[in-house]
Chain A
């Protein structure tokens, strides 16, 4: 025993993870990109962040101001891309701070130098799509949607998978048998057809996709958790816990579950990448979110429809590949770190 502080098995796994430079780097880049995308409104928007107009301060990001405020003619919300408004905001002592990219994911560039889809230019860094929307903005917001959706889907899948797997593995016997048969039946429901049917019944949206994909996404994980529980429940420390007088719930939560989390954690990044791919392909097929929502799949579909507009497909392809690769590198590092057979 050394004099240094004791490390829990989790902390030791984290130390092993940190030794994998590719995994750590990937985790950093991914986290950074995700945090940046959370502030997408500040980075890429069609409104200025702050406007000081005739001595008064406005925050168009937080509040809608009618065009009249800035010397326009109408009560409608201000279009800050309108050259007239732009000029009046800059006149005299007035000033404004603009986001890095002056377009949001829905804003159209009415003043594009070339017809839509327009190639990359100083105004639209990655060009525009066939409706004149800024590709960079759509990629940024689409990235955020994908990652958030994947996080939510993974979280729900993990919770459902753990609960079902834990019940099966811990109680085993007849309970296990019944749930296992249910999983077999449920797992053979054709998911894609169900999605196509439901997409024609309901207004497609992120929420309905989340619900449907969650209904089917927990089964793989439940199998792993079940196997871990079946293994761990037979170990002496569980019997010892029973001999101490703990209830089933206490034994599961304090003893079996913490020792059964390895496959759950090791699979997290892979489940995320699978969720991102699922959303992208559904959007690509037009079964996913409505086209007003920024989405990588919808951009890919546009790229396919406009093969000559290489900037659409290349940009989307780049983001998607980078995102999936980062997740896979993180996943590999995590898997190696949790593998106790290695040093």
Chain B
């Protein structure tokens, strides 16, 4: 896969779209929230421009308000659209609804993050693509359908004739996104707005979809406005980047310049937030926990009596020492979470094999004996919003485990322990009487970590501990986890789909694919010399810079 030639020169001609001093306000009951403040961007013909920022930075709102797709928003400023260099510019914010509607889909098309919700489940994908053509080009139904099939072919859908007659639910995620792209391309737009087009897809598919977009962009010569929070993606794809923070455009530069010399403080933080390795070599010693031939099966009912067995984890072996982090990496559905939950006997799957925790066999243990062991193995979840009961104060949440496992301690002792724990994870003391809804995602994750660590566990399962958080917060949480590990000498079983996280804190790593462990070893070793294609794809998705600098000749050629 040759990402290198993605970085060619931005064409300089008159802007296709020019956003001047755009502000967007939302009026709620009590106050008006300013989502976008005075943003100015020029988009040139045939350019790939990326708008970067964390969630809530206003990047999606900017794109949607350009097409007047936010009926509740109050906008000010200008969005000048110039269909060809000779034609007069047209202000999209002040022209009539009919004129904007004529542009949407024909000259400016959009693709969204979640392809399933962007498609109507009641129509075949062929009909949905054909509809665009019927509306904007006045083609007959038959012509439109034929065109739809050829579009599907161009977006790389195999068996386009057959797929055109399929309904969205019959297609895979990658195929669906291809359909959405085909729909966007139906009228050969001059500008394609892609809002996190790959976030909902698996790594290997992500790659293919990006390559497709790039290919099509070159052939069609359209401009692409990419909205994303994924920096490696931006580095490979875009020619110019705009960085947004809290509704403002804080920096705007050619990609290479931005990544090599970020000017604004926030951009620097954003770039630096890509995790650095924080751990050394793992210690020796007997394993604290180990699994042999661990096999997890779900049975899926197919009717009253019939059932189908689904193997989520296929005979996996693993072992983990005290103070060590074992990373399990894989994409969604690879069985990594099932494996981790099974290790703690929290999985609803049927589990076979052997799990040994500090000399005790976990499988076959009585529920009451297991409950007594629980304080020694804890878990931190991915989504900090569903991990805390909304009706309990932080103090109650942290104290619950203590009350259960350390009931001999007095209330005063427990409370001082809670306060100390809050300080250790970097939260103010008065959090103790507050409720989860008053905290941000990163703070909630700290609370969830505190709830696990306060019981002085020996093993902690971290199930995607940072993937629901913004990049700048991710690094802080990872640092906290490493600090806690070193202080309390805990073993971490780290589940993630992101090799950058593995690189930052795992001593050893296991790669899982479709329920099987396909590769394992020391982190550094696996990252440097991956044995399987799958691992290589994961590495490419996580570290663009390393790959680029590994092949410097090409990069220089294209940038000059």
Contact = CB atoms under 8 A, between A and B. Distances in A.
B404 A240 contact: no
Contacts of B375: 244-245
Given A6-B435, A239-B381, A343-B29, A244 B389 contact: no
Interface string A3-31: 00111111000000000000000000000
Interface of A is mostly: helix
A243 B344 CA distance: 8
Interface in B329-350: 341, 344, 346
B208 to A, nearest CB: 32
Given A245-B372, A245-B404, A259 B346 contact: no
B383 interface: yes
A205 to B, nearest CB: 41
A197 interface: no
B353 interface: no
A290 to B, nearest CB: 46
Most buried by A among B28, B341, B400, B405: B400
Nearest to B344: A243
A243 B30 CA distance: 41
Given A236-B383, A237-B386, A243 B346 contact: yes
Nearest to B29: A343
Interface in B371-394: 371-375, 377-379, 381-383, 386-393
B426 to A, nearest CB: 14
B435 A9 contact: yes
B386 A236 contact: yes
Interface in A78-120: none
Most buried by B among A239, A245, A247: A245
Interface residues of B, number: 40
A243 B374 contact: yes
B137 interface: no
B61 interface: no
Given A8-B435, A343-B29, A237 B372 contact: no
Given A343-B28, A343-B30, A10 B391 contact: yes
30 contacts: A1-B434, A1-B438, A5-B433, A6-B433, A6-B434, A8-B391, A9-B391, A9-B437, A10-B391, A235-B386, A236-B386, A236-B387, A237-B387, A239-B341, A240-B379, A240-B448, A240-B451, A241-B389, A243-B452, A244-B374, A244-B401, A244-B404, A245-B370, A245-B404, A246-B404, A247-B371, A254-B400, A255-B389, A258-B392, A343-B28
Interface residues of A, number: 24
A304 interface: no
B455 interface: yes
B391 A240 contact: no
A159 to B, nearest CB: 20
Interface in B450-483: 451-452, 455
Interface string A254-266: 1100110000000
B390 A240 contact: no
A7 B390 CA distance: 11
A240 B381 contact: yes
Interface string B268-282: 000000000000000
A242 interface: yes
A218 B372 CA distance: 37
Contact of A237 (B344, B389, B433, B438): B389
